[in-house]
Amino acid sequence: MESVEHTSKWLACARATMQLESEAIARAATRLDGGFCGAVRLILGQPGKVVVTGLGKSGHIARKIVATLCSTGTPAVFLHPTEAAHGDLGVYAPGDSTLILSKSGTTRELVQLVPALGELGSPIIGILGNPASPLAANMDAVLDASVNREADPSNLAPTASTSVALALGDALAITLMRARNFTAEDFQRWHPGGALGAGLRLRVRQAMHAPSEVAWVGCGESLRQVVIAMTVHPLGAACVLNPDGRLAGLITDGDLRRTLEKHDDIRTLHAADVMTPAPVTVDPDARVLDALRLMEDRPSQISVLPVVSAGDGLFLGLLRLHDIYQAAVFTG
């Protein structure tokens, strides 16, 4: 069994690593300037794809940047710099731009690649750890990815430098995404599978429980009747309705517990005394992903959402957080 001393040292090491990397990214963010905007304009100004290249750890980061670009509306492919000189330059088509990643800016395979890219007429953007390097001198735009040091004690393992390069790639991809007005609907088109695709594709009405499956009571019904309704339909909440079918409030399992804590005698209480009036609701045609955000992106998270018609406020059903995840699993 590891000692408390070892555990403490390991946690301190992990936190120091993450802190160092986050500070390196923050410094890189402050260095962004017209060069970054120039890189965005170069890519937007070219009708083709972005060819991303790098060697070693930079190559791994380059592949991740390719994936992010592709999923956010900018077609991209990875080119291995060694294979480029042996036929893989055929991946280029007129109008393609190039993104080169290198920590040192002196990587021989990349330096040798630049003249060929010039002959192809491809504008070149560099994410470089040394903005005064030979590679930097031949770039059309340079993003400064320099770091003070790596995170390991010997200052050797690419850690802070790869984190900064990846963050710059993400910044480029998201800026291009916004510049192209790439919408959530576009995003869903490229993500038809998985939980993310399901959340973008599914609508609330496809995952919610219909009124016949939900506990619901009138405002004047006793708390005993509320408990009975919630026992018959154990979805974690009861919807309180006005006589015209409009939602008046919501009573959750938590509301019941808090009421029991406050009151020694609950026999005189009615639904209207316990409910949360005007609760957060969702429209049946809203995306499930938007419903999830309504539940989670708030100071106090909620696990159920009454579903009401946006036009007249009529109660139509109930959506649980569990229903969202279940729908994503079985349709994604």
Give per-residue pLDDT as tens, 98-119. Answer: 999 999 999 999 999 999 999 9
321-331 and 194-201 helices cross at what angle (nearest 10)? 110
Q: Is the Cβ–Cβ distance between 185 and 319 less than 8 Å?
A: no
Q: What is the CATH number of the domain that holds 136?
A: 3.40.50.10490
Nearest to 128, CA basis, from 165, 160, 155, 75:
165
Whether residues 172 and 235 fall in one domain: no
- The pLDDT assigned to 331 comes to 44
Give per-residue pLDDT as tens, 230-280. Answer: 999 999 999 999 999 999 999 999 999 999 888 888 889 999 999 999 899
- Residues of the chain with pLDDT > 70, as a percent, come to 92
Torsion angle of the four alpha carbons 36, 179, 197, 58, in this order, in degrees rounded to the nearest 10: -20
Helices (H), strands (E): how many in the chain? Answer: 14, 11
CA–CA separation, 306 vs 29, rounded Å?
Answer: 42
Q: 185-189 long-range CB contacts below 8 Å, 24 or more apart?
A: 186/73, 187/71, 187/72
pLDDT band, residue 193 (cuts 50/70/90): low
Task: Classify residue 173: in a domain, yes or no.
Answer: yes
Pairing of strands 124-128, 141-144: parallel
- The pLDDT assigned to 322 comes to 83
- The pLDDT assigned to 112 comes to 94
pLDDT band, residue 189 (cuts 50/70/90): low
- The pLDDT assigned to 332 comes to 44
Task: Classify residue 187: in a domain, yes or no.
Answer: no
Task: Classify residue 191: in a domain, yes or no.
Answer: no
Give per-residue pLDDT as tens, 295-329. Answer: 888 888 888 999 999 878 899 999 998 888 776 54
- The pLDDT assigned to 289 comes to 82
Q: Could you write out the DSSP letters of every residue in 57-112? A: HHHHHHHHHHHHHHHTT--EEEE-HHHHTTTGGGG--TT-EEEEEESSS--HHHHH
Give φ, ψ of 115 to 5 degrees.
Answer: -60, -40
Whether residues 9 and 86 fall in one domain: yes
Q: Is the Cβ–Cβ distance between 122 and 100 less than 8 Å?
A: no
Q: Range of 227's domain?
A: 204-331
Task: Classify residue 170: in a domain, yes or no.
Answer: yes
Nearest to 227, CA basis, from 256, 250, 249, 264:
256
CA–CA separation, 165 vs 81, rounded Å?
Answer: 17
Give per-residue pLDDT as tens, 204-213. Answer: 998 899 999 9
Whether residues 114 and 171 fall in one domain: yes
Residue 146 has which token pair? 């320099």
Whether residues 171 and 216 fall in one domain: no
Q: Is the Cβ–Cβ distance between 240 and 217 less than 8 Å?
A: yes
Task: Classify residue 192: in a domain, yes or no.
Answer: no
Whole-model pTM: value is 0.67
Whether residues 242 and 152 fall in one domain: no
Nearest to 168, CA basis, from 198, 141, 135, 138:
141
What's the total number of domains in the chain? Answer: 2
